[in-house]
Amino acid sequence: MVGILGAGLMGKSIAVEIAKHGIDVKLLSAQRHLSASQLKEEIEKIVSRMKVVNPEEVFSHIQIASDYKEFEGCDLIIEALKEDLVVKRTTLKELISSISSNCVFSSNTSSLSINDIFKDIIPLENVLGTHFFNPPHVMKLVELSTLDQTSSNTINFALNFIKGIDKEAIFVKNSPGFVVNKLLIPFINEAAVLLEEKIASAEDIDKAMLLGANHPIGPLKLADLIGIDVVVAILKTFQKNNPQLKISPLLEKMVLENKLGRKTKIGFYDYVEKR
């Protein structure tokens, strides 16, 4: 049994990907105003986009939890909350006060330190990072980040779990951004600067990387997929270690205007369905 703490886009998508492989999942939303029926409806949309052969089988392995106590007995709990250290730590403290489980705890963080998330809350021998990529049903990679204290049993369990859901793991140092985002997010930031300086249009910037670098998706379209707010949050984390990093004002303006990409139907591109 896997518990997923956080039912945003990634939390729901990871839940579906795990359930697709016949593993039972308990999904708990940090936004308690979301009803079980709303979450189920959103999960159905994700499954329909994946074109799963037997969607009912997937649904049968996903349970919407309403309380932390329902995570008791899970073998693995994946934290998939918003990229905010205070939110993550506060929620984990509430969770651990409600259960007595000695299971493996992991975080889907894309930029924060695994140590900073879990220290003084959960024994560090039981924790690691399992960073999935969006969309999980397409992206094969999971960045596996461990601490010096992470036990070999925890690492072996995580590796077997990742293989069991048909993913591939790479080991990365517990460092902000790990490998992919350390390369990718500054790249997106530079693409936003090019647009802001009117060097080229969004479409042509993306086309340049598709046709000139053989990338499967352009940086601005990818930013819309990730979420502009997530991109900015990661950049701010990087900025703490590198004060010389300048975040594109355009990205910050888009966050203020709630132009976050696909999840708000508008970002660098417009995703409102035309009728």
pLDDT at residue 52 in the model: 76
As a whole number, mean pLDDT of residues 172-184 equals: 91
Q: Tell me if 88 is assigned to some domain.
A: yes
Q: Tell me if 68 is assigned to some domain.
A: yes
97 part of the active site: no
Q: Tell me if 32 is assigned to some domain.
A: yes
List the catalytic residue out of 106, 110, 111, 113: 110
- C-alpha–C-alpha distance, residues 41 and 196, integer Å: 38
Token pair in block for residue 172? 């990365």
Q: What CATH number is associated with residue 156?
A: 3.40.50.720
Examine the domain organization and report whether 14 and 90 are in the same domain: yes
List the catalytic residue out of 101, 107, 108, 181: 181
pLDDT at residue 36 in the model: 80
Q: pLDDT per residue over 115-142, tens digit each? A: 999 999 999 999 999 999 988 988 999 9
Measured in degrees and rounded to the nearest 5, phi and psi for residue 86 equal: -65, -45
Q: Tell me if 198 is assigned to some domain.
A: yes
44 part of the active site: no
pLDDT at residue 241 in the model: 87
| Domain range for 193 | 181-264
Token pair in block for residue 17? 């990907």
Examine the domain organization and report whether 32 and 121 are in the same domain: yes
Examine the domain organization and report whether 234 and 203 are in the same domain: yes
110 part of the active site: yes
pLDDT at residue 60 in the model: 92
Choosing from 142, 172, 202, the residue where a domain stops is 172
Q: How far is CA 204 from the centre of its chain?
A: 28
Examine the domain organization and report whether 123 and 206 are in the same domain: no
List the catalytic residue out of 131, 145, 189, 248: 131
Token pair in block for residue 9? 């886009």
Closest CA to 79 of 37, 122, 125: 122
Contact 7, 28 (CB under 8 A): yes
Number of domains observed in the structure of the chain = 2
- C-alpha–C-alpha distance, residues 224 and 227, integer Å: 5
Task: Please provide the DSSP assignment of the chain as one string.
Answer: -EEEE--SHHHHHHHHHHHTTT--EEEE-S-TTS-HHHHHHHHHHHHHHHT-S-HHHHHHTEEE--SGGGGTT-SEEEE---S-HHHHHHHHHHHHTT-----EEEE--SSS-HHHHHTTTS-GGGEEEEEE-SSTTT--EEEEE--TT--HHHHHHHHHHHHHTT-EEEEE-S-TTTTHHHHHHHHHHHHHHHHHTTSS-HHHHHHHHHHHS--SS-HHHHHHHH-HHHHHHHHHHHHHH-TT----HHHHHHHHTT--BGGGTBSSSB-PPP-
Q: Tell me if 18 is assigned to some domain.
A: yes
Q: pLDDT per residue over 185-195, tens digit each? A: 999 999 999 99
273 part of the active site: no
Q: pLDDT per residue over 31-80, tens digit each? A: 766 678 888 888 888 888 877 778 889 999 999 998 999 999 999 999 99
Q: What CATH number is associated with residue 253?
A: 1.10.1040.10
**Residue 213 CA: distances (Å) to CA of 3, 126, 201, 231:** 39, 41, 17, 22
List the catalytic residue out of 113, 134, 143, 189: 143
Choosing from 146, 172, 198, the residue where a domain stops is 172
pLDDT at residue 251 in the model: 98
Choosing from 172, 193, 226, the residue where a domain stops is 172
Return the residue matching tokens 């021998």. 125
pLDDT at residue 187 in the model: 98
